[in-house]
A and B are shown apart, each in its own frame.
Chain A
Amino acid sequence: MEEIGKSYKRIDALEKVLGQTKFLDDLPDENFLHAAPVYSGIPFGQILSIDFSKAKSYPDFVDFISAKDISGENQVGVIIEDQPLFADKIVRFVGDVIGLIVAKSPQNARDIAKLVEIKIEELSPYFTIDESRNATEIFLHDSNLACEHQVIRGDIETGFTDADLIIEETFKTSVAEHYYLEPQGCIAFPKTDKMKLLGSLQCPFYIQKAVSRVLGIPLENVEVEQSPTGGAFGGKEDVPSELCARVAVAAQKLGKPVKMVYSRKEDVQLTSKRHPFQMRYKVGVSKSGKLLAAEILLEENAGAYATLSSVVSYRAAMQAMGPYKIPNVKVRSKSYYTNLPPNGAFRGFGSPQATFGHERIMDILAKKLGIDPVEFRMKNMLEVGDETMTGQKLTSSVGAKETLQNASERINNNIIQNNNNSHYLEGIGIASCHYGNCLGAAGWHLDGAGVNIKIRKNGKISVAFGLVEMGQGAETVVAQMTAQALGVTTEIIEILPTSTIHVPDSGPSVASRNVVMTGNAIRNAAEELLPILKKVSAEILNCDQENIEIKNCFAKNLKSERKITFSEIAGYLHLNGMKTQSNGWWHVPELDYDSETGTGDAYFTYSYATQIVKVRVDRLTGIVKVEKIWAAHDIGKAINPAGLQAQVEGGTAQGIGWALTENFKYEHGKAVTQNLSTYLIPTAQNTAKVETILVEDSEPLGPWGAKGIGEPAIIPTAAAIANAVSNATGIEFNEIPMTPENVLEKIES
């Protein structure tokens, strides 16, 4: 039986329904010390003094940890070195961490932290992209521009001259909070010159580097293990490096384990969010509806430190014009520093924002041309042999048109007729996208990943991999792929917790990388183990290796039909001291990319998607209800179809929240939407019926043909909803969130 393509039940589900999974804060407290952050309440200013004498007199006080306690470098910037671990001169956002209070209980640490007195001379802060860009003196860093990327291909002047219609439009998307249910947290365990960290996290190898640098100890002296992680969505990509490094400084100084778990308020105020974008699209088309030229300016609010902005900005730039053929493009993508919490990774990583831009303009163009929006997209959509907007020639696995075809077939019997007097207006909206798998040319040097596969004496197989389970189902698909690769059943696979000690640096668990990277690494490890398994089976069964078939946990002599079990083979290997384990590795092949012009192979392959939504707009209240989503996704091959559906259902739900209700707000840099009654994430009542449509256009470089799904699931949703609301009301909605107030205001004006 095939292990791939089966909706195998999640291997972590049993523990989870029993409430037995031990998340970080569920572990027994073995006399840990507890830390709480001391942070700036002011968005921008110079630190004049830090006084913790009041804190010190509190009975449970253990220590105040700050920049002076760092034995390595006071630097935690991920790509650009602009972020001190502990602010010691300047604070740049409400939540910039100045120190930690360490106490004997978490509640006391938090109470004592409030007693630390920090004097700050305030500077006038920048909160918006416009304020930041227009600043003439006093910048957040050397300048207010954190980073920029561009794509320059063809000749836009000629393209616009040839165009019969040119449309220019501005779009805006808002900040979004991950609101993973388990807050950020970690425990640091010091051992003489070593440090072990355990935490709720996505990227153990980032943390290893950050901690080694801050403590001034070699990389190999830092061990990072992931505890079961209660959601992340990108929010635990870079932020845990800060938490872990700070707590590690405390643990190193005090020589005792130190634990820190953020309260929900701290988590919301101190940690990263989705970048708000403001985008200017100018696109020219021929009468017949052929895209000819695009000039695009993407501006991103980076927040106080660059963290991952540079790669978010890169991805948005590379995908700015979507899955369409367009010969002449000029894209500039710029991230600006502001005095808000740093914006970082959030599922889609700049793609949902760019998709909002290109899919809104595609709809506006179609309308102006008088061409059906499906037909207009179909006319321009990429297929094998075409070049992407960066000039990358696509040679395989381009299921874009099939996603559009399959999704649009579903709406044919959903003809909408709005009565001008009715209370509700209905509308349909389409959005298509492409998503570059893995890290792309900008992160190519990090784009390798490993596994370690061990055949145990008891006939089970254990697998350690370098990427993580954070809820998406990674462990289950890794088990399935291992079973498939070795001819055994998924039941006998055991997955070890992800730790830096089992596998080499596998880069970050982001960019929908797990299936592709780990799957290929598994195949690589199996290439080494399979010949051994065959050889041993042939020895035991006394036949030629060519006659051996290994399947379903049995090795069979195809001639005599004699069989032995996988347990027998495992026993034999161990008894004879033979090879029982293998390290697999896979690295993304080299990409031919020119960073000057931003042209060439931006990513090694793309997932494609089209989502079509049906909405109902309440004309009197402005409430938008998403009734149905047809989500067609080209994922190459579904390793676990039910798990994949679950990704699509969860991703679209997050997309609905971002499009309609999640209205994150700051006042003078302080988050005012700190709880679930002000920051409205979707409940069971306001998610939609979702029909997942799988398109399996096999990718030759993907394991068993597979590509990533984690992020594509959310990318087109908000754009499709905005298109549907525009369709329903006849008014162009170019900004999200489309809260009832915003919708009503537009309808009434």
Chain B
Amino acid sequence: MKNSKAISVKINGKQVEKTIPTHLRLLDFIRNHLKLTGTKEVCGEGECGACSVILAGKIVNSCLIFAVETNGSEISTIEGIAKVDELSEIQQNFIEHHSVQCGFCIPGMVLAGEEIRKENPHSTRDEIKEKLAGNICRCTGYKKIVDAIENN
């Protein structure tokens, strides 16, 4: 098919091969084609972080990337963060610290938290806030989200 391309990516440890339209956003590929709906769309313009996924080890806004550009790479979504029956430490912290309200920003926030911890396990609160500046939450005021990411 014209304007389509076959791609092969590893999503949450599973190899998938699909033929997809070249203009398909990574976000739509993940949500509509792979049915991984934990990744959210809020702004669609790279401003909110709700659509965050980890692509080749880096956190990205999946609303700004064409799926075909990810051919051959490894991607993790929120669904790939917990190991069977075991939450990641960040996920556990989000529950313990009452960091969750409506939950719509939370998948992006958890991934951002994972990334911040990976980069520097001992980031200060100010560093965490700076790195979270691209993740919007309208419910929490962020304090309890920072609490969950801070390693103390």
A interface residues, Cβ below 8 angstroms from B: 7, 9-10, 12-23, 25-26, 28, 178-182, 228-231, 233, 263-264, 470-473, 642-643, 645-646, 649-654, 675-677, 681-685, 687, 689-690
Choice from A25, A646, A677, A689 contacting B144 with Cβ under 8 Å: A646
Enumerate chain A residues within 8 angstroms of B106, measured Cβ to Cβ: 16-17, 19
Query: Contact: B43 with A676, CB < 8 Å?
Result: yes
Docked complex Cα distance between A13 and B93 (Å)? 11
Contact between B136 and A19 (Cβ–Cβ < 8 Å)?
Answer: no
Task: Check B38 against A20 for contact (C-beta < 8 Å).
Answer: yes
Whole-angstrom distance between the Cβ of B128 and the nearest chain A Cβ: 7
> B62 at the A/B interface (Cβ < 8 Å)?
no
Chain A residues within an 8 Å CB radius of B143: 649, 687, 689-690
Interface centre among B82, B101, B143 (most CB of A within 10 A): B101
B residues 16-54 near A (Cβ < 8 Å) are 31, 35-40, 42-45, 47-48, 50
Q: Is the CB of B44 within 8 A of A264?
A: yes
| Complex Cα–Cα for A690 and B35 (A) | 39
- Residues in chain B near residue A650, CB distance under 8 A: 101, 138-141
A180, B102: Cβ atoms closer than 8 Å: yes
Q: Are B142 and A16 in contact (CB under 8 A)?
A: no
Q: When A28-B35, A684-B145 are in contact, do A649 and B140 touch as well, CB less than 8 Å?
A: yes
- CB of B103 closer than 8 Å to a CB of A: yes
| CB <8 Å contact, B37 and A684 | no
Residues on B lying within 8 angstroms of A by beta carbon are 31, 35-40, 42-45, 47-48, 50, 77-79, 81-82, 87, 91, 94-96, 98, 100-107, 110, 128-130, 132-146
Contacts A10-B100, A28-B35, A231-B104 given; indicate if A17 touches B133 (C-beta within 8 A).
no
Contacts of A16 in B (CB 8 A): 100, 103, 106
Instruction: Kindly report which residue of chain B lies nearest to residue A678, judged by CB atoms.
Output: B47
CB pair B77–A19 under 8 Å, yes or no, is: yes
Q: Tell me which of A181, A263, A264, A684 contacts B129 (CB under 8 A).
A: A684
B68 → chain A closest CB, angstroms: 18
Given contacts A676-B43, A684-B132, A684-B133, contact A653 B142 (CB under 8 A): yes
- In the bound complex, residues from chain B placing their C-beta under 8 Å from that of A653 are 140-142
Q: Is the CB of A18 within 8 A of B144?
A: no
Chain B min CB distance to A151 (Å): 34
Q: How far is the CA of A471 from the CA of B102 in the complex (A)?
A: 3
- A sample of 26 cross-chain residue pairs with beta-carbon separation below 8 angstroms, ordered by A number, consists of A13-B94, A13-B98, A15-B103, A16-B103, A17-B87, A18-B79, A18-B91, A19-B38, A180-B102, A181-B104, A181-B138, A229-B102, A264-B44, A470-B102, A471-B101, A471-B102, A471-B104, A646-B101, A651-B141, A682-B141, A683-B135, A684-B130, A684-B132, A684-B133, A685-B129, A687-B143
**B90: nearest chain-A partner, CB-CB:** A17
Given A676-B48, A687-B142, the answer on whether A17 and B129 have CB atoms closer than 8 Å is no
Residue in A closest to B87 when the chains form the complex, CB atoms: A17
CB pair A18–B141 under 8 Å, yes or no, is no
Tell me the smallest distance from the CB of A716 to a CB of chain B, in Å.
15
Choose among A23, A471, A642, A687 the residue that contacts B98 (Cβ–Cβ < 8 A): A642
Find out whether the CB atom of A684 lies under 8 angstroms from the CB atom of B135. Answer: yes
Q: Give A228 to B104 CA distance when docked, in angstroms.
A: 10
In the bound assembly, the distance between CA atoms of A7 and B141 in angstroms comes to: 18
Residues of A with C-beta under 8 A to B78: 18-19
Instruction: Identify which of B47, B130, B141 contacts A687 (C-beta below 8 A).
Output: B141
CB nearest to A263 among chain B residues: B44
Contacts of A470 in B (CB 8 A): 102
Known contacts A9-B95, A685-B130; decide if A19 and B79 are in contact (CB<8 Å): yes
Q: How distant is B130 from chain A, measured CB to nearest CB, in Å?
A: 6
**Do A683 and B132 form a contact, CB below 8 Å, given A17-B95, A19-B78?**
yes
User: Cβ of A180: which chain B residues have Cβ within 8 Å of it?
Assistant: 102, 104, 138
| B101 close to A17 (CB less than 8 A) | no
* Chain A residue at minimum C-beta to C-beta distance from B78: A19
Q: How far in angstroms is the closest Cβ of chain A from B54?
A: 13
CA distance A10 to B136 in the complex (A): 21
* Residues from chain B with Cβ under 8 Å of A651 in the complex: 141
Q: Is the CB of A9 within 8 A of B35?
A: no
> Nearest 6 pairs between A and B by C-beta?
A19-B38, A471-B102, A230-B104, A16-B103, A19-B78, A649-B141
Kindly report which residue of chain A lies nearest to residue B38, judged by CB atoms. A19
Decide yes or no: A13 and B100 within 8 Å by CB, A181-B50, A676-B43 being known contacts. yes
Evaluate contact between B139 and A231: CB separation under 8 angstroms.
Answer: yes
- By a CB distance below 8 angstroms, the chain B residues around A690 are 141, 143
Query: CB distance B95 to A675 under 8 Å?
Result: no
Contact A681 B102 (CB under 8 A): no
What is the minimal beta-carbon distance from B13 to any residue of chain A, in angstroms?
Answer: 16
How far apart sit A16 and B145, CA to CA, in the bound complex (Å)? 13
Expressed in whole angstroms, the minimum distance between the Cβ of B85 and any Cβ of chain A is: 11
Q: Which residues on the B side are within 8 Å of A10 (C-beta)?
A: 95, 98, 100
A12–B138 CB distance below 8 A: no
* Distance A9 CA – B81 CA, assembled complex (angstroms): 21
Tell which of B94, B104, B130, B136 has the most Cβ of chain A within 10 Å.
B104
Name, among B31, B35, B94, B139, the residue most crowded by chain A CB atoms within 10 Å (CB to CB): B139
Q: Write out the residue numbers on chain A whose beta carbons fall within 8 Å of the beta carbon of B142.
A: 649, 653, 682-684, 687
CB distance A181 to B101 under 8 Å? no
Asked if B98 and A646 sit within 8 Å, CB to CB, the answer is yes
Task: Please determine whether B45 and A676 come into contact, CB atoms closer than 8 angstroms.
Answer: yes
Q: Contact between A228 and B103 (Cβ–Cβ < 8 Å)?
A: yes
Q: Point out the residues of chain A lying under 8 angstroms from B98, CB to CB.
A: 7, 9-10, 13, 642-643, 645-646
Would you call B145 and A12 a contact (CB within 8 A)? Answer: no
Nearest CB in chain B: distance from A304 CB, A: 25
Q: Once bound together, how far apart are the Cα atoms of A250 and B44, in whole Å?
A: 28
Q: How far is the CA of A677 from the CA of B29 in the complex (A)?
A: 25
Q: How far is the CA of A181 from the CA of B102 in the complex (A)?
A: 9
The residue of chain B having its C-beta at the shortest distance from the C-beta of A648 within the complex is: B141
**Of the residues B47, B100, B133, B135, contact of A677 by C-beta under 8 Å:** B47
Tell me the minimal C-beta distance from A565 to chain B in angstroms: 27
User: What is the bound-complex CA distance between A652 and B140, given in angstroms?
Assistant: 9
